[in-house]
């Protein structure tokens, strides 16, 4: 009887330990998910607070890039909607905003006689969140609205809600 009691005690202890480990893992996962949701909510809120300045910075940086060659950035109309995505490799959060960009031909740049210069170019402006601050490198994804850009770059980006 003593051996049976000892075996049952050991099995009960092991079983209790397994249950404890499983419940701890579930609780840890839920806590991590809550933290991620809170971080995402905070990042989205910060983007909306800084949006006007970020748009100005985008136009300044993109305009100074010299791209596309032979054109000067004249204006950029930003859409209201924002699509948020995460870079699969780095985990960095991105915001993509639809844009309509107006260009002017640079004198002597070879685009003066191109009739397409007069048409707005649609695309997506890209913004990045480093965990504390939003910034932009002036990168525009031409001919793609934000949802199309995420779909096209699905190997690099995943949508976040």
DSSP labels, the chain: -HHHHHHHHHHHHHHHHHHHHHHHHHHHHHHHHHHHHHHHHHHHHHHHHHHHHHHHHHHHHHHHTT-STTEEEEEEEEEEEEEEEEETTT--EEEEEEEEEEEEEPTTSS-TT-GGGGS-EEEEEEEEE-SS-EE----EEET--HHHHHHHTTTTEEE--
Taking the C-alpha atoms of residue 28 and residue 68, their distance in angstroms, rounded to an integer, is: 49
List of residues 6+ apart from 30 with CB closer than 8 A: none
Q: How far apart are the first and last CA of the chain?
A: 59
Taking the C-alpha atoms of residue 41 and residue 47, their distance in angstroms, rounded to an integer, is: 10
> Which range marks the domain in which residue 138 is found?
2-159
Residue identified by tokens 């793609």 is 144
Q: Is the pLDDT of residue 3 over 90?
A: no
* β partners of residue 72: 104
Task: Decide if 108 contacts 70 (C-beta within 8 A).
Answer: no
User: In which band, very low, low, confident or very high, does the pLDDT at 27 lie, cut at 50, 70 and 90?
Assistant: low
If one counts the domains in the chain, the total is 1
User: In which band, very low, low, confident or very high, does the pLDDT at 136 lie, cut at 50, 70 and 90?
Assistant: very high
Task: Decide if 88 contacts 158 (C-beta within 8 A).
Answer: yes
In this prediction the pTM is 0.76
* pLDDT tens-digit map of 85-128: 999 999 999 999 999 999 888 777 777 777 777 788 999 999 99
């Amino acid at each position: 009887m003593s051996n049976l009691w000892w075996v049952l005690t050991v099995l009960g202890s092991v079983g209790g330990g397994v249950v404890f480990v499983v419940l701890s893992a579930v609780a840890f996962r839920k806590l991590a998910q809550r933290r991620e949701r809170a971080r995402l909510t905070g990042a989205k809120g910060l983007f909306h607070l800084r949006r006007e300045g970020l748009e100005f910075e985008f136009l300044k940086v993109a305009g100074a890039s010299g791209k596309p060659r032979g054109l000067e950035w004249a204006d950029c109309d930003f859409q209201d909607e924002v699509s948020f995505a995460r870079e699969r490799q780095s985990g960095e959060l991105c915001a993509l905003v639809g844009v309509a960009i107006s260009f002017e031909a640079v004198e002597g740049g070879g685009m003066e006689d191109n009739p397409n210069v007069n048409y707005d170019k649609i695309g997506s402006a890209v913004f990045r969140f480093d965990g504390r601050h939003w910034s932009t490198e002036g990168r525009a994804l031409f001919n793609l609205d934000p949802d199309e850009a995420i779909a096209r770059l699905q190997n690099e980006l995943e949508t976040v809600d």
